[in-house]
Amino acid sequence: MKPSHIARDGSIAMVDVSRKRVSVRVACAEAFVRMSPAAKAALRAATLPKGDALVAAQVAGIMAAKQTAALIPLTHPLPLDGVDVRFDWQQDLLRVEAEARTAARTGVEMEAMVGASIAALTIYDMAKALDKSITIESVRLVRKSGGKSGRWTRK
């Protein structure tokens, strides 16, 4: 299979989606943030030195998803109809979930991935004073729908 971002002459190219149909597309990505018990307690109590990290990370993830085309060179600028960033604790890990939605000719997987990544990085930035060993793990696509390839869910 020919890589989609390689032109006939071997140069890189943005995929031409002008002939694709517009469809509703949704993608959900996740990242996991591992931290010390002290950082976790401060994050949960919203007592970090810089303020409420979850609120800051939620806003950062939404803003980042909207800037994906400026960050990832061959992505298409997309009119996002919605972006949600949510958090839940899974034992000692904070799960960051970002979901992006649009009606467009190409998918929003990268927007969801960027949203989850930047939200996780914001958690690190907000909590690093308490724990410099924070680790961001497993940034990945969870599910997507829409377009020619339809639904896909990570197993």
pLDDT digits (tens, 9 = 90+) for 56-66: 999 999 999 99
Report the mean per-residue pLDDT for the chain. 93
pLDDT of 3 reads 65
Coil, strand or helix at 62: helix
Other CB atoms within 10 Å distance of the CB of residue 113: 24
Output the 3-class SS for 98-125.
EEEEEEECCCCHHHHHHHHHHHHHHHHH
Please tell me the distance from the alpha carbon of residue 124 to that of residue 130, in angstroms, as a whole number: 10
Tell me, what's the pLDDT at 1?
61
pTM of the predicted structure, to 2 decimals: 0.92
Choice among 9, 16, 125, 131 that is catalytic: 125
Report residue 44: phi and psi, to 5°: -65, -35
| CA-based torsion, 6, 8, 14, 15: positive or negative | negative
**Is 125 among the residues known to form the active site?**
yes
Domain 23-146 CATH superfamily: Molybdopterin cofactor biosynthesis C (MoaC) domain (3.30.70.640)
Closest by alpha carbon to 6, among 90, 79, 77, 74? 74
Q: What is the pLDDT of residues 125-146, one digit of tens each?
A: 999 999 999 999 999 999 999 9
Q: Give the pLDDT confidence of 94-109 residue by residue, as tens digits.
A: 999 999 999 999 999 9
